[in-house]
Structure 1
Amino acid sequence: MAGLESGEQPRQRGGAAAVRWTPAVEDELGLKVLEQYGNPSLDEVTLLSRPESAVAARRLTQCVVLRLWGLSPQLSEHAVLLVSELVGNAVRHTGARCFGLRMMRRRGWLRMEVRDPSRGLPCLLPVRPLDTSGRGLFLVDKLSDRWGVDLLARGKTTWFEMRVADR
């Protein structure tokens, strides 16, 4: 089975074989998603507006930020979380059939964009300790260096930027 260390057996979970997580398995999954959807750092990729697309977006982000761009694991973790939040908002609140994901890097910065056909603007709401939802943009606001929304003729692009140390 692909991704298993030599001699390693898959674990059984709910009657189906589950592969034990390792960095090698995660790399393999990331590369498969990159092959399936394309590289969002080269051109916008299109994902269906379904909850499971968040998994693909997270894997694409980790593959690009950590593996292709060689940025720090902590920066990758934050970028993955924030992309997941923007994707979640696009899936839950826009009514779109699909959305676009794009990643850019320029000297000292990385920028992540989620484009959808809705012109409805996201709202940064105050968050209280016992709130169980509505934290997405709060996290984007706290963990990114800047974020915003660009209205388009048809839809919008919600984006965030983070500073990166260039080598």
Structure 2
Amino acid sequence: MAGRGASEQPQRVTIAAAAWPSAAADEAAVKALDLVGDPSVEEVRLTSRPESASTARRLAVSVLRQWSLPQLSDTVELLVSELVGNAVRHTGARTFGIRMLHRRGWIRVEVRDPSRALPCLLPVRELDVSGRGLFLVDKLSDRWGVDLQPRGKTTWFELRVLDR
């Protein structure tokens, strides 16, 4: 009997968790935006550390929830990680900024840093363990690019969305 009860309990926990993630996730999303800033309103500056990638991902997913576009979360999380990773690893900057824009049919995510060094899209081989970031951005986004600024650059990607 103990074995049967042990196998039933995880199922009940899973079902219970599946019943409320929307409300809990909405609350967590609002909290993240309140604490750190809302990149859909203005650029949010983050410290250039590897840990900041998780904050940037959380902010991006929170904005997608506000825009009722949670179906884009996995792709946006991955691509934000890649752009933030490049900004943190390759620029030597103390901070970077993230901004998100939504216009009819598109979302755009921008990562701005003070370096004017352009990122390079490298050919990727099967056994490569690094250098895949922009390859992923190129394959998974509908458009991407780099805009040079007077002080630094903005690397961005866009995804097409179906408007209701």
Alignment of 1:119 with 2:119, yes or no, is: no
- SS state of the match for residue 95, structure 1? coil
Query: What's the counterpart of residue 71 of structure 1?
Result: 69
1:54 aligns to 2:53 (yes or no):
yes
Given candidates 146, 149, 152, the residue that maps to 1:152 is: 149
Shift of 1:26: 4.6
In the alignment, the residues of structure 2 paired with residue 27 and residue 68 of structure 1 have an alpha-carbon distance, to the nearest angstrom, of: 8
Q: Percent identity?
A: 70
- C-alpha deviation, 1:36, in angstroms: 1.5
Q: Number of matched residues?
A: 146
Structure 1 window deviating more from structure 2 (28-37 vs 87-96): it is 28-37
SS, match of residue 153 in structure 2: strand
Q: Normalised by the size of structure 2, how large is the TM-score?
A: 0.84
Aligned amino acid, residue 110 of structure 1: I
1:108 aligns with 2:68: no
Q: Distance in 2 between matches of 1:86 and 1:135?
A: 11
| Amino acid in the other structure paired with 1:58 | R
- Which consecutive residues of structure 1, in runs of 5 or more, have no partner in the other structure? 1-19
Q: CA deviation at 1:27?
A: 4.2
Q: RMSD in angstroms over aligned alpha carbons? A: 1.7
Which consecutive segments of 4 or more residues in structure 1 shift more than 6 A?
A: none
Deviation at 1:72, TM superposition (A): 4.1
Specify the code of the residue in structure 1 equivalent to 2:138: D
TM-score (norm 1): 0.82
Give, in angstroms, the shift of residue 28 of structure 1: 4.2
The amino acid across from 1:44 in the alignment is E
Q: Give, as a single letter, the amino acid of the residue that structure 1 aligns with 2:111.
A: V
**1:136 alignment partner in structure 2:** 133
Q: CA deviation at 1:33?
A: 2.1
1:39 and 1:166 map into 2 onto residues whose CA distance is 22
Based on CA coordinates, which of the two structures has the bigger radius of gyration? 2
SS of equivalent residue, structure 1 residue 138: helix
**What are structure 2's unaligned runs of at least 5 residues?**
1-16
Amino acid at match of 1:68: Q
